[in-house]
């Protein structure tokens, strides 16, 4: 039947303005790659919305929090009427109603709860948008066990001695056996007092950074000749790298810093990853 429209045809028509970047094969790869988003607050909700706009069709959302009134200045789904409902359920209902073909698995539990990871791990990539370091370490370690690449994001304002000293966002790419772990990249920094201040600008920016990292891996849509950046190693030396695994946006100074962070000397986590990667490579050969 020549007049019958196929679902893929409708999908490609919606993505028409992206096809010059990704091509049909790249867009099909986007459509077929399942994603898990762990943490569904300001950062996680923005990432989910952007993923659906770009054409990802299978999303798992994991967060045990319910929507509170003070979330409404940055949570991109729902409204006052939804206060008290689980954030991931609100997100599922809006995503599936707005975007044809999108399937959302909403898990209203902490990712560390028994059995939750078994559902989360059925994905191609993980976005870590959790808001505490213990949860980030858990997600990183579980991704490493399962060989899943992840992008970890964070954003916020920092006060010290009553003064605003930092405002910005970060995105970290962690591919087990290839990139430095989160401890080497960001989590070993000295903790600072986190103020109870949130702004949607940071969430929007870091969501863009995170998805850009994923799209470069999936589709290679950027020109490799323009993809070189100065990298900073943990010993303070500089190198020219064809890719980066750490991007920092400074909202106060309006700067964007990109780096290639290498594993710290003697890092047990990175050392284990490399040993496992070498072992797997040896088995393949």
pLDDT in tens, 201-215: 999 999 999 999 999
Neighbours of 252 (CB within 10 A): 11
Please say whether the beta carbons of 211 and 225 come within 8 A: no
Does residue 4 form part of some domain? no
The DSSP string of the chain is: -TTPPPHHHHHHHHTTTTHHHHHHHHHHHHHH--EEEE--SHHHHHHHHHHHHHT--EEEEE--PBP-GGGTTT--S--GGGTTSBHHHHHHHHHHHHSTT-EEEEE-S-TTSTTHHHHHTSSSEEEE--SSHHHHHHHHHHHHHHT-EEEEEEEEEEEETTEEEEEEEEEEEE-TTTSPPHIIIIITSPP-PBPS---HHHHHHHHHHHHHHHHHHHH--S-GGG--EEEE-TTS-EEEES--SEEEEETTTTEEEEE-PPPPTT-HHHHHHHHHHHHHHHHH-
Mean pLDDT of the residues in the chain: 86
pLDDT at 161: 78
Please say whether the beta carbons of 35 and 122 come within 8 A: no
pLDDT band at 7 (very low <50, low <70, confident <90, very high): confident
Please say whether the beta carbons of 125 and 151 come within 8 A: yes
Which of the residue ranges 79-88, 101-110, 181-190, 199-208 would you say has the lowest mean pLDDT?
181-190
Does residue 281 form part of some domain? no
Asked whether residue 178 carries a pLDDT value surpassing 60, the answer given is yes
Does residue 235 form part of some domain? no
pLDDT at 63: 98
Ramachandran sector of residue 162 (left: φ over 0; alpha: ψ -120 to 50; beta: rest): left
Does residue 139 form part of some domain? yes
Does residue 231 form part of some domain? no
Tokens for 191, please give them.
């903790």
Q: What is the mean pLDDT of residues 27-55?
A: 97
Q: What is the mean pLDDT of residues 1-9?
A: 66
Which of the residue ranges 6-10, 145-149, 273-277 would you say has the lowest mean pLDDT?
273-277
Q: What is the mean pLDDT of residues 22-49?
A: 96
pLDDT at 195: 63
Does residue 273 form part of some domain? no
Domain, as residue range, for 56: 13-176+193-223
pLDDT in tens, 223-254: 554 333 333 333 333 333 347 999 999 998 99
pLDDT at 238: 34
Does residue 130 form part of some domain? yes
pLDDT band at 156 (very low <50, low <70, confident <90, very high): confident
Tokens for 185, please give them.
């990249």
Number of domains in the chain: 1
User: Model's pTM, two decimal places?
Assistant: 0.88
Does residue 215 form part of some domain? yes
Asked whether residue 160 carries a pLDDT value surpassing 90, the answer given is no
Cα(161)–Cα(152) distance, integer angstroms: 28
Strand partners, 66: 86
Q: What is the CATH number of the domain that holds 85?
A: 3.40.50.720
pLDDT at 223: 57
């Amino acid at each position: 039947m020549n007049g019958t429209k196929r679902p893929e045809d409708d999908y490609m028509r919606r993505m028409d303005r992206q096809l010059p970047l990704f091509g049909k094969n790249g867009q099909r790869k986007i459509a077929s790659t399942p994603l898990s988003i762990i943490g569904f607050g300001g950062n996680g909700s923005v990432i989910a919305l952007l993923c659906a706009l770009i054409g990802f069709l299978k999303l798992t959302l994991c967060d045990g929090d319910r929507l509170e009134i003070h979330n409404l200045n940055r949570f991109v789904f729902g409204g006052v009427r939804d206060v008290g409902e689980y954030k991931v359920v609100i997100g599922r209902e809006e995503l599936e109603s707005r975007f044809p073909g999108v399937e959302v698995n909403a898990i209203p539990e902490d990712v560390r709860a028994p059995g939750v990871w078994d559902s989360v791990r059925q994905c191609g990539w993980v976005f870590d948008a959790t808001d505490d370091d213990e949860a980030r370490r858990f997600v990183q370690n579980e991704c490493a066990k399962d060989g899943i690449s992840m992008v970890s994001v964070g954003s916020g304002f920092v006060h010290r001695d009553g003064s605003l000293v930092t405002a910005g966002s970060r995105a970290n790419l962690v591919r087990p056996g290839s990139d430095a772990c989160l401890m080497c990249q960001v989590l070993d920094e000295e903790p600072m007092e986190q103020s109870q201040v949130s702004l949607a600008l940071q969430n929007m920016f870091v969501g863009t950074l995170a998805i850009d990292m994923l799209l470069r891996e999936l589709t290679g849509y950027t020109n490799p000749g323009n993809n070189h950046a100065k990298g900073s190693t943990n010993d303070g030396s500089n190198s020219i790298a064809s890719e980066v695994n750490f991007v920092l946006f400074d909202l106060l100074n309006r700067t964007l810093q990109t780096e290639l962070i290498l594993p710290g000397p003697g890092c047990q986590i990175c050392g284990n990853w490399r040993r496992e990667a070498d072992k797997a490579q040896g088995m393949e050969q």
